[in-house]
A and B are shown apart, each in its own frame.
Chain A
Amino acid sequence: MDNRGRRRLWLVVAAMLFVVAAVLMFTGQGEEPAMETPKVEFPRRMRAPERERAERRRTHVLPVQVDAGTQERARPRDPLLAALPRGEGKTAVVIEANALRHSPIGELLLDCLMRDGGKRLQELRNLSGVDPLQDLDRLVITDEGMMLSGNFGNAKFKELLGERVSMDYGEGARVYEPGDMTVTRPDGSTARGRSEAAVATWNNELLVIGKSPDEVKAVVDRVEGRGPDEPPAISEGSTYGEMYGVLSVDQLARLLPKEQAELADRIRRVAQNVELHVDASGDVAMVAEVRGANGDEVTDLGKTLGAALSMARIKAQAEGEKDLAQLLDFARVQPDGTSFKLEMAVPLDVIKQRLAFCKEERSAAEAAER
């Protein structure tokens, strides 16, 4: 081949190679938009909407205190926060039922709740006069029992608890002692039962369920300003997230599986207080702040927890459990002197996949009803 022919050949080869390269790169990179790396926002502090929410909830004004001739006007406060147990080492976890219901995870949970087409929910509405999806605002779990806040103006407490011994208490409360109760079913038949729980209602805003009348009366006392002077278990500044509160160290240790008995024992020895915040406005993200007296011991406990999470992640990876490994990717421990923050997250997509069956069953049940 002469020089001219060879040069033409190189040019043809070059053109062909450029075309092939373009096709390969186009196919290799792909033209679809890049996948977003999952980003999780952890509840680390109070945000503006939560601050506004807390302000709106300051509705209860205590009666004017007359002291040595001076009148001091008390600041309005949130009755539910006032009702919380006082002092160190108590458990009080608040679930923002209304906020949770309107969150993406709430929608998924609602599908699961209404897998029967919503029959049981309707039954509950008819029986109690309370629509949990509309009237319930917050639910609190404490060592002593449970508290619900919301609009209970339409609640049929008298019909449900009418047979029990009851009395007016304080300024706006009614206390029902443990006793028999009769429930009228939708078909008109009645069912009798006995409940060992004492119940108190306060201003159609609060429903308190406790072990004894004295316990529920103590809650009403705290709401109406007759309780101890100690601050409530959860301060207003800590009311962020869709679930928040404080857990007693004992309760936290009990949540751990039996295989982690050593870790549970260490938590009991080292930690004094655990504050919990869960955000479900998008992905489900949890921040737990563990406090203790000895900084070194607390840091060591943090390292142990971090190592346990790391081992769990490695195990999940080795066993091909991609979802779990992905969840544990976000897990970390942030030491800070005599406390540390443990952060964990569950991406919403993972929960959607896991709860997809609820939506299918709900749709099927609703279709069958039609």
Chain B
Amino acid sequence: MKPVLGIAGYVLREAMSRKFILAFMVGITLVLTVVALSLRIEVVDGALAASRLFGEEIRSSIRSVDVALRPVYQAAAFLVFYGGILFGIVACSDFAPSLMSPGRIEHLLALPIQRWHLLAGTFLGVMVLALGGTLYGTTGLVLIFGVKAGYWTAGPLIAGLLACVGFAAVYAVMLTAATLVRSAALCAASGFVFLVGGIIAGYRQQMTPFFEEGFGREAFRAVTLVLPRLSALAVAAGDIAASTPLEVRSLGLLLLGVLVFGFGALAVGFWRFEGKDY
């Protein structure tokens, strides 16, 4: 386990040295600060009575604060989920290819560690990074609305954690792609393809009737059966953030399934990396 942690630390140090990740953190902070300073919410006995954004009164109805803020939390959950994954794909696409770049990989392979430790460490490092960013953004959001509206909910935080699990599955595929082709662009493309595939897989039930009965429909069902159901996870994240009933039958099983898919993709990467000559 120690070598894996060592590589994870190495990846984190590498990330910190990159200016755009720091810029992203500053960006999140700025957005949260602007929202905190410009938003004024008047709450009377748990009802959202009036809201002002940048001094302008937002024309809205008076209703329970948690009901009134539901669309805001839901939108925030979707933004965190899809926005976080998309940013993760772009920001982390060249970690693995640069780790496997000529000169560097030989140095790493010379270390007294097993090959799969390298991939597992990279995966862990990136996940810690994603988790940190998500926790920072969502905690800020929870604090702002909690202080302003007096309505405290861990919903957005949980939604952010679900997004991290979704990103784990996508990044595992990206890491595996990096063992096949040492290209940041292809790595990001594979992540993007799986993100789209994951969105489709979550809506497979609704999309199946669009395919003609026979081979096409069965092929669609077979492919989407295996893909991580990211959109289902995003909808669940939105439901949790908005404190509305979950549409999925069991969130625990779905979450575990997406995570296990990620481990499966990672195992393919281990298989490929073990047999590769550098």
Is there contact, CB below 8 Å, between B267 and A17?
A: yes
Interface presence of A331 (CB below 8 A): yes
Is there contact, CB below 8 Å, between A29 and B202?
A: yes
Is there contact, CB below 8 Å, between A17 and B260?
A: yes
Is there contact, CB below 8 Å, between A31 and B267?
A: no
Please indicate the chain B residues that have their CB under 8 angstroms from the CB of A328 in the complex: 64
Contact of B64 among A10, A16, A37, A309 (CB under 8 A): A309
Q: Which of A324-360 contact B (CB under 8 A)?
A: 328-329, 331-335, 343
Q: Given A17-B267, A30-B248, A332-B62, A303 and B47 touching (CB < 8 A)?
A: yes
Interface residue tally for chain B (C-beta within 8 Å): 46
Q: Kindly specify which of B32-40, B75-83, B124-132, B222-230 makes contact with the partner chain.
A: B222-230
Is there contact, CB below 8 Å, between A303 and B261?
A: no
Interface presence of B270 (CB below 8 A): yes
Interface presence of B65 (CB below 8 A): yes
- Least CB distance from A270 to B in Å reads 15
Interface presence of A11 (CB below 8 A): yes
Is there contact, CB below 8 Å, between A24 and B232?
A: no
Contact of A307 among B46, B249, B256, B258 (CB under 8 A): B46
Contact of A28 among B63, B226, B245, B253 (CB under 8 A): B253
Contact of A17 among B247, B248, B263 (CB under 8 A): B263
Is there contact, CB below 8 Å, between A24 and B264?
A: no
Is there contact, CB below 8 Å, between A30 and B46?
A: no
Interface presence of B257 (CB below 8 A): yes
Please indicate the chain B residues that have their CB under 8 angstroms from the CB of A305 in the complex: 62
Please indicate the chain A residues that have their CB under 8 angstroms from the CB of B248 in the complex: 28-30
- Least CB distance from B251 to A in Å reads 7
> With the chains together, A26 CA to B260 CA distance in Å?
13
Interface presence of A47 (CB below 8 A): no
Interface centre among B228, B248, B249, B264 (most CB of A within 10 A): B264
Is there contact, CB below 8 Å, between A14 and B45?
A: no
Interface presence of B180 (CB below 8 A): no
Interface presence of A185 (CB below 8 A): no
Q: Kindly specify which of A97-105, A248-256, A310-318 makes contact with the partner chain.
A: A310-318
Q: Given A18-B261, A18-B264, A307-B45, A29 and B256 touching (CB < 8 A)?
A: no
Q: Which of A8-25 contact B (CB under 8 A)?
A: 10-11, 13-18, 20-25
Q: Given A22-B226, A30-B249, A17 and B261 touching (CB < 8 A)?
A: yes
Is there contact, CB below 8 Å, between B263 and A310?
A: no
Q: Given A7-B271, A29-B232, A314 and B257 touching (CB < 8 A)?
A: no
**Digit string of B245-278 for contact with A (CB within 8 Å is 1, else 0)?**
1011111111111101101110110110011000
Please indicate the chain A residues that have their CB under 8 angstroms from the CB of B50 in the complex: 303
Interface presence of A34 (CB below 8 A): yes
Interface presence of A6 (CB below 8 A): yes
Interface presence of B205 (CB below 8 A): yes
Interface presence of A257 (CB below 8 A): no
- Write the chain A residue with the least CB distance to B202: A29
Interface presence of A68 (CB below 8 A): no
Q: Given A17-B263, A25-B258, A306 and B62 touching (CB < 8 A)?
A: yes
Please indicate the chain A residues that have their CB under 8 angstroms from the CB of B116 in the complex: 10
- Write the chain A residue with the least CB distance to B208: A31
Q: Given A22-B257, A303-B49, A13 and B267 touching (CB < 8 A)?
A: yes
- Write the chain B residue with the least CB distance to A35: B247
> With the chains together, A349 CA to B151 CA distance in Å?
29
Is there contact, CB below 8 Å, between B257 and A25?
A: yes
Please indicate the chain B residues that have their CB under 8 angstroms from the CB of A31 in the complex: 205
Q: Knowing that A3-B274, A14-B271, A30-B249 touch, tell me 5 more A-B residue pairs with CB under 8 angstroms.
A: A17-B260, A18-B264, A29-B232, A33-B205, A306-B62
Q: Which 4 A-B pairs have the closest CB atoms?
A: A28-B254, A306-B62, A24-B257, A28-B253
Q: List 22 A-B contacts (CB under 8 A).
A: A7-B274, A7-B275, A10-B274, A11-B271, A14-B265, A14-B267, A18-B226, A20-B260, A25-B228, A25-B254, A28-B248, A29-B232, A30-B248, A30-B249, A306-B47, A308-B45, A309-B47, A310-B45, A310-B65, A313-B64, A329-B67, A333-B61
